Amino acid sequence: MSASAVFILDVKGKPLISRNYKGDVPMSKIEHFMPLLVQREEEGALTPLLSYGEVHFLWIKHSNLYLVATTLKNANASLVYSFLYKTVEVFCEYFKELEEESIRDNFVIVYELLDELMDFGFPQTTDSKILQEYITQQSNKLETGKSRVPPTVTNAVSWRSEGIKYKKNEVFIDVIESVNLLVNANGSVLLSEIVGTIKLKVFLSGMPELRLGLNDRVLFELTGLSGSKNKSVELEDVKFHQCVRLSRFDNDRTISFIPPDGDFELMSYRLSTQVKPLIWIESVIEKFSHSRVEIMVKGGKEYLMRAHFGLPSVEKEEVEGRPPIGVKFEIPYFTVSGIQVRYMKIIEKSGYQALPWVRYITQSGDYQLRTS
């Protein structure tokens, strides 16, 4: 069992638009959602699932909107939450920003999308590129005689249309790693983590098959390439786009897929290895009598910031916690983990030649250094 109905509410809990998929939960039950949410919030017991009798409200908040799905018992909660987040993603693809105004200005399109995204409580077509083939910003102007279901909806490869042609066939690969790091005042690393994504921008004709090879440690062990000369990376929590053939990856660690056209995220991964600080910050905070504070921040050997703050006269100093220093940075042509794209094979029946381009980027995630 999945969602019975989906509501989009404003910040006060007033329904902007709703879609009843199964009819087994009265639509009036949504009136109990906001009072229940406010009550739980005041009690400090707010949860992503709220219940009123046998009716359950599964909700998420985005900007100034609440997206709420109502269900009865035995609903697949993970499926419903995935659908709600996917709905937000689709709406953002259509309207750039998802907020109350964009819902009101695009009421007809929103309702059409809700019809296509879910059928009788179960998710259906949730790929925005496919939806944009037949639900457009001018969809109300289309002639009914010419309306048709695009082949991608019924095709085995639903994420890619047939007949795509480019004069120049290229694939751009971005390997992006974000470093999450927390360092205490003594310089000891308390928490470190690498979160990586591999994003593709595909401009390929036809229906090509791509095979991506990484310096994956498990692959190296299977093929006998492990050794001091071959640096490998042990990937954790790997998540793939739906186009990847998971059975083949499980069998021989080959990442084989027919890609969507244009931009998409092929995979994400995580590494919980110990990371040395890439950027080091030293700070000294001095308090002068009553009305002045001087803060000196030194980053490496190149940057020095000294700031003076004039404060109102204070007779008694209070002991205050010093927040950590957050650092933002981006380092091109480098990955912390050492992950590498070993090859990208592009196979298409016409036999054309295609160029793969690879770019590596390391950037700050939640990167904080505590001050003394």
pLDDT in tens, 240-267: 998 999 999 988 888 999 999 999 999 9
CB 91 within 8 A of CB 98: yes
- The residue among 118 and 136 whose pLDDT is bigger is 118
Residue 39 has pLDDT above 90, yes or no: yes
- The residue among 64 and 273 whose pLDDT is bigger is 64
pLDDT in tens, 338-356: 999 999 999 999 999 998 9
Q: Evaluate if pTM is beyond 0.85.
A: no
Task: Give the distance from CA 81 to its chain's centroid.
Answer: 14
Mean pLDDT calculated for residue range 213-218: 86
- The DSSP element (H or E) to which 300 belongs, if any, is none
Q: How confident is the model at residue 59 (pLDDT cuts 50, 70, 90)?
A: very high
Residue 140 has pLDDT above 80, yes or no: no
CB atoms under 10 Å from CB of 121, counted, come to 23
- The DSSP element (H or E) to which 78 belongs, if any, is helix 77-95
- Order of strands, edge to edge, in the sheet holding 65-71? 15-20, 5-9, 65-71, 55-62, 49-52
State the pLDDT at residue 308: 62
According to DSSP, residue 219 is labeled H
- The residue among 147 and 151 whose pLDDT is bigger is 151
In whole angstroms, give the CA distance from residue 267 to residue 246: 12
Mean pLDDT calculated for residue range 123-147: 66
Q: Which domains does the chain have, with CATH numbers?
A: 5-132 (3.30.450.60), 170-276+331-369 (2.60.40.1170), 282-313+322-326 (no CATH)
Query: How crowded is the C-beta side of 23, counted as CA atoms within 13 Å?
Result: 0
State the pLDDT at residue 300: 57
In whole angstroms, give the CA distance from residue 137 to residue 109: 7
Task: Look at strands 209-214 and 118-119 and give their pairing.
Answer: unpaired
Lowest mean pLDDT among 40-54, 199-213, 214-228: 214-228
State the pLDDT at residue 251: 87
Percent of the chain with pLDDT over 70: 82
